[in-house]
Structure 1
Amino acid sequence: MNYVNHTWTQSFILAGFTTTATLRPLAFFGTLCIYLLTLAGNMFIIVLVQADSGLSTPMYFFISVLSFVEIWYVSTTVPTLLHTLLHGCSPISSAVCFIQLYVFHSLGMTECYLLGVMALDRYLAICRPLHYHALMNRQVQLRLAGATWVAGFSAALVPSSLTATLPFCLKKVAHYFCDLAPLMQLACVDTGWHAQVHGAVIGIATGCNFVFILGLYVGILKAVLKLPSASSRAKAFSTCSSHVTVVALFYASAFAVYVGYPGSRPEGTDKLIALVYALLTPFLNPIIYSLRNKEVKEAVKRVTERIGTIWREL
């Protein structure tokens, strides 16, 4: 067969969620509120880390980088979701669709690697406290942060480019943004080989990183259990609790979507899980790092008092 009408010469239609006319405004308003709160929460973390000298540590530098990633990550898909909720099925050009696919997966992979770097930071802080600041100096922090971006955007090239070269016979994407599985279901050819390559690339990248994080936390656990007092052990564990929670949310949703053959689950399931990792996780991350972190609360208090002093002087 001659597949003339494919990839860059065509457009797609995002089907989004099949909501009734009555529920659509409510879903739009709820999604918009979560999106704006996500942007505000992550921007708050970035500004707070920059404004308070007490948070000038490697851990909070990486937390602010994570918040920066989350702002772009959530902005890659949620505006498309808002548009489909407002207008129903929305056309999207193939170029924009594949760019969205690539950027979304690049940022997701960047976050994956960044979580590994944050685990390494906690390992050095707890297991190598005397050499921590020398090992994790500012130059090392910047290099590690930059490496996560390079690695993330490089790893996403393979699945995104392979999907973009497929011949597509159908246009209607059963999703609210361009993702691997719903796009592959529109192809004119068997995508079994592509699915295996996608699974290998994403699985190796995320799986190896997950094993790396687990290995570091085994070392952390051994080191913490050797601490002499219960208070010192509790303090050490508290510095890791937020990171562990974020890692659990990220990998639980990622494994739920990308483990298994594309399309093997009911259509609505993938879209609901996508809401978790594309919208709710970026929304929850700043809450986890602020509400569960005493140092962040103290920093908020210091910055608030400083702002109050400036206002009184004016």
Structure 2
Amino acid sequence: MSFSELLVNFTGKNVEEFTITGFDHLSHQKLLGFLIFITYFLVLLGSGTNICIIVTDRRLHTPMYLLICNLAVVDIMFTTSTSPTMISVLLAEVKTISYYSCISRMYIYHLGDIEECLALSLMALDRTIAISTPLRYHSILTNPRLFLLITATWLIGLGVMGVLTAQADSLPYCQPIIRYVFCDYPAMVRAACVNPEPYWMLPTILGLWLIGAQFIFILLSYVNLIYTVLRLPNNESRVQVFNTCICHIIVVSCYFAPKLVSVLLTRIGVRLNLTERNALLIMATLLPSLINPTVYCLKTKEIRKRLVQILSRKRTAVMKIISSQEESLITPPVRMSYLTSDPNQTENIDTFIRPPYFFISGFIDIPHMEYYYVFLCFVYIISLVGNIFVMMVIYMDSSLHSPKCIAVFNLAFADVCGSTALVPKVLDMFLFSRQLISYNQCLASLFFIFLFLTIQSFNLTILSYDRLVAICCPLRYHMMVTHRSMFQLTGAAWGFAVFLVLLAVSLITRLSFCRSLVINSYFCDHGPLFRLAAPCSDVVPNIVISYLNPSIMLYFPMVFIISSYICITHALFTITLPQERVRALKTCTSHLILVAIFYLPINFTYLLHSIIPTNARIINLSLTLVLPPMLNPFVYVLKTEEFKESAKKLLSKRRAHRAVVSN
């Protein structure tokens, strides 16, 4: 499509979507996209590692490391505002982006840019106080004061970007073209059908404040530091202070260098072409966020030491479990306080820092529960047969190779894996009285059960998005929901689910279990497990994750699904023909049944966990985890016409083949 064709029908009104053309002239787009993808992955890995190390180690809850943690959060936000856009353009060849998505990413991008600069200024202030007045450092810069400073920087950034975004949103857009590589304020102003000159005043003031005032402040702070270092009496103190500041100097240089180069070249009259300008933009966005975690891990002794401890502790834990396995598998010690006459001394006992096993309690004082476990066994068998049948039908029938069926296949696969991760182990523990589970097996079971539970939730969200587009935007459905976009959504769901569950499991590994080893559940559940370590470990990060993960895994998807069906209901009332309305309702009925079966019991359980008895919680959770995988294939096969027709065709072909063979 030519540039003139893209401008047709855009006469001063807000466009619905933009086309990003900043990479069109490049010959090796896939290579650049792969490099950006690797860089983005390394940024997430490095910054996420820094955040986890600082959050989980109370010794690092000091102003300096809280500032590093804040910078890591900003780096993740800053790169996430641009990298997915560039990756989708270069690798997936999806060059269009909706108007509201573009303006929201512009907001997050410039907010991240502002917060990055202010975070570096706070870190310069921290180093100045620490070196100039070391004796008064802990009284001047306390954690509460630092939180106020960090909050103030975020409020400043949010306020400034609110004004800038409102100004961009008020513009009339007559060009659906973004000539740069992602959505930022200059690109959106140049896409508007107005004279851009009056709209540069606010960005110019903002740039002078960031590059001028903040950079001069950081520069003056380091001039003061150099003067203070030169007055130190011996060389060892100078070297120590220099090592403390060198990582911050590297980070500051990586952030300001591309911006200063661009400003200086412009001032001396050098006009950069579009390629050079885009290259500077990419460097200014990705380079600081890539360098920051690397520098702080390698140049900061405490973070490096903590990372080495975590890696070495995993090895020693495995050796301890192996050496103590034979001695400890006789009877489970329920309370460590039994080993001492003074219960208060149990906090100092580290015999079971990494216990070789846990004891799964299951149901308490309920007779004949073996019948319930037999019921779970039958449910598991039906679930396996049904979901494998659905996957076979989708795989063997080419007419079902549609974007929606990709999500259905993924849901069936997650159902099979989730049921297999849970039910066989539950049957082995309670039907054959093998309620001891090793430490490593417990964490592995926790990881896989919650991983596939999260995948099921995300898949239902993807299916609701599919229905939303199909009913509300039927003419654009095949353009918006493609095979590529569906693979991207499912791949992102898997990656995000692995990250969330892995974070929860990694926080368990830092805990010491010095008292009870009895898990009051029917599997290694996250909440009952980490609460065992509450008497002798800091479980605040685990509590935060126990509230954060259900919100991301369950509550937010459920809110999105409810909102999508509100939009679908509104769209259905606009359909004049009753037959079309009934047909659309039938299309959505199967998905609504799955949503109700999956979300209602588990959300009630998590929201009311403090007042629900243990036995009721176990029954509710166990049915929530095994019934939806069993019912999913029946709902889709029995309620969806295309599946019924495909299943009938496959069965008839099978019968015909048998008849031919027998004759």
TM-score of the two chains, using structure 2 as the length reference:
0.44
CA distance in 1, matches of 2:315, 2:193: 63
Number of positions where the alignment pairs a residue of Structure 1 with one of Structure 2: 309
Residues 12 and 193, structure 2, Cα contact 8 Å, conserved in 1? no
Task: Kindly state the Cα deviation for residue 174 of structure 1 after the two structures are TM-superposed.
Answer: 1.0
Aligned to 2:275: 268
Aligned to 1:145: 150
Task: Kindly state the Cα deviation for residue 236 of structure 1 after the two structures are TM-superposed.
Answer: 0.7
CA distance in 1, matches of 2:94, 2:311: 45
Instruction: Give matches, 1:57-136, under 5 Å.
Output: 57-88=62-93, 90-136=95-141
Instruction: Give matches, 1:185-204, under 5 Å.
Output: 185-204=190-209
Report the secondary structure of 1:13's partner residue: strand
Task: Kindly state the Cα deviation for residue 89 of structure 1 after the two structures are TM-superposed.
Answer: 5.7
Give a deviation string over 1:228-280, Cα, whole Å, max 9, x none. Answer: 1111011111111111111111112233456759x953111121111112222
Find out whether 1:13 has 2:19 as its counterpart: yes
Aligned to 1:179: 184
Instruction: Give matches, 1:225-236, under 5 Å.
Output: 225-236=230-241
Q: CA RMSD in A?
A: 2.3
CA distance in 1, matches of 2:232, 2:281: 41
CA distance in 2, matches of 1:308, 1:205: 46
Query: CA 1:205–1:54 in structure 2 vs 1: closer, same or farther (change >3 Å)?
Result: same
Equivalent in 9, 29, 50 of residue 24 of structure 1: 29
Task: Kindly state the Cα deviation for residue 133 of structure 1 after the two structures are TM-superposed.
Answer: 1.0
Residue identity opposite 2:312 in structure 1: E
Aligned to 2:304: 297
Instruction: Report the more deviating stretch, 144-153 or 85-94.
Output: 85-94
CA distance in 2, matches of 1:258, 1:11: 31
Residues 178 and 191, structure 2, Cα contact 8 Å, conserved in 1? yes
Report the secondary structure of 1:88's partner residue: coil
CA distance in 1, matches of 2:206, 2:163: 8
Residue identity opposite 1:312 in structure 2: M
Task: Kindly state the Cα deviation for residue 205 of structure 1 after the two structures are TM-superposed.
Answer: 3.6
Aligned to 1:158: 163
Give a deviation string over 1:18-46, Cα, whole Å, max 9, x none. Answer: 3667x333333222222111100111111
Instruction: Report the more deviating stretch, 73-82 or 86-95.
Output: 86-95
Give a deviation string over 1:252-310, Cα, whole Å, max 9, x none. Answer: 2233456759x953111121111112222211111111222333322222233333333
CA distance in 2, matches of 1:258, 1:159: 21
CA distance in 2, matches of 1:130, 1:243: 22
CA distance in 2, matches of 1:143, 1:164: 31
Task: Kindly state the Cα deviation for residue 81 of structure 1 after the two structures are TM-superposed.
Answer: 0.5
Task: Kindly state the Cα deviation for residue 163 of structure 1 after the two structures are TM-superposed.
Answer: 2.6
CA distance in 1, matches of 2:271, 2:203: 15
Query: CA 1:146–1:132 in structure 2 vs 1: closer, same or farther (change >3 Å)?
Result: same
Residue identity opposite 2:299 in structure 1: R
TM-score of the two chains, using structure 1 as the length reference:
0.90
Task: Kindly state the Cα deviation for residue 77 of structure 1 after the two structures are TM-superposed.
Answer: 0.8
Residues 11 and 93, structure 1, Cα contact 8 Å, conserved in 2? yes
CA distance in 1, matches of 2:167, 2:65: 37
Residue identity opposite 2:56 in structure 1: A
CA distance in 2, matches of 1:73, 1:92: 18
The unaligned stretches of length 5 or more in structure 2 are: 1-9, 322-663
CA distance in 2, matches of 1:18, 1:221: 47
Instruction: Report the more deviating stretch, 77-86 or 133-142.
Output: 133-142
Aligned to 2:60: 55
Residues 55 and 299, structure 1, Cα contact 8 Å, conserved in 2? no
Residues 34 and 283, structure 1, Cα contact 8 Å, conserved in 2? yes
Aligned to 1:282: 289
Report the secondary structure of 2:19's partner residue: strand
Give me the identity figure in percent. 29
CA distance in 2, matches of 1:305, 1:257: 45
Give a deviation string over 1:131-153, Cα, whole Å, max 9, x none. Answer: 11111211112112222211122
CA distance in 2, matches of 1:168, 1:256: 31
CA distance in 2, matches of 1:222, 1:20: 48
Instruction: Report the more deviating stretch, 229-238 or 196-205.
Output: 196-205
Residues 48 and 299, structure 1, Cα contact 8 Å, conserved in 2? yes
Task: Kindly state the Cα deviation for residue 125 of structure 1 after the two structures are TM-superposed.
Answer: 0.7
CA distance in 2, matches of 1:242, 1:6: 49
Residues 258 and 284, structure 2, Cα contact 8 Å, conserved in 1? yes
CA distance in 2, matches of 1:138, 1:297: 22
Task: Kindly state the Cα deviation for residue 92 of structure 1 after the two structures are TM-superposed.
Answer: 1.5
Residues 180 and 278, structure 2, Cα contact 8 Å, conserved in 1? yes
CA distance in 1, matches of 2:61, 2:200: 43
CA distance in 2, matches of 1:244, 1:276: 18
CA distance in 2, matches of 1:142, 1:279: 27
